[in-house]
Amino acid sequence: MPEAAMQLNHITKIYNPGTVHETLLFRDFSLEVEKGSFVTVVGSNGSGKTSMLNILCGTIPVEDGTVCLGGREITRMKEFRRYARMGRVYQNPAMGTCASMTILENLAMADNKGRAYGLLPGTNKRRIGAYRDMLAPLGLGLEDKLGVQVGALSGGQRQTLALLMATMTPIDFLILDEHTAALDPKTAEIVMELTDRVVHEKHLTTLMVTHNLRHAVTYGDRLLMMHQGQVVLDKSGEEKEKLQVEDLLGLFNTISIECGN
């Protein structure tokens, strides 16, 4: 059987327990992602997409159930420890980079992930050539701006940098949290093409939440649709390849009607 890279087992998640605002999002929710799989996730607001990512990353706790990564239970592991073998790119380009530091300093910081800094210089001049070689194929001119503060970059440039930083060191799992939602269409396509290339070149197990149905259909080898804390559609392989945007829109409309909208 294929090896599982990630498992959510019988998860229960309640927001604001014991208050008038108590909301049960997940009840006995389970999901398994195979090693090397690129899974796209869609769903309406409040369906549980981002909460699922936050549970994986340890940003929010669960009331019941277990979280496993690479066969190891990490349910109570601290968030920062999970990131030793996990990369995450957020919807907001500002969250994956440090605005007051230069491109070079940001890359050096990501390059040193998981290692002690000590009293040595933060940047390794011997790695500058490698950084330029990494940035040049993007066609964004970043290889000539290593001394520029990241806060001066466009959203697309910054998000591209965040994606590279998240995957510079060896990781087991890549989480993409609507990472093209804040970008213009042209830049979003550039970032998605880079995403697809990085995922396949590095053989990364990837979970991508997106509101872009075309991206969800075009990229990845498995597609999930979530609604009210449940997976209502799960297609992979040939079934996923046959999916069209219209199929997803039809299911969205059906769900909306059933919910009285």
Residues 156-196: pLDDT tens digits?
A: 999 999 999 999 988 989 999 999 999 999 889 989 999 99
pLDDT grade for 34, boundaries at 50, 70 and 90: very high
Distance of alpha carbon 218 from alpha carbon 235, whole angstroms: 13
The pLDDT, as a whole number, for residue 94 is 87
Rounded to the nearest integer, the mean pLDDT of the chain is: 90
pLDDT grade for 118, boundaries at 50, 70 and 90: low
Residues 6+ apart with CB under 8 A from 199: 38, 174, 206
Helix axes 103-111, 155-166, angle to 10 degrees: 20
Distance of alpha carbon 38 from alpha carbon 19, whole angstroms: 38
Residue 119 in this model has a pLDDT that exceeds 60: no
Residues 43-70: pLDDT tens digits?
A: 988 899 999 999 999 999 999 999 999 8
The pLDDT, as a whole number, for residue 1 is 57
Share of the chain above pLDDT 90, in %: 72
pTM equals: 0.90
Q: Provide the CA 68 distance to its chain's centre, in angstroms.
A: 17
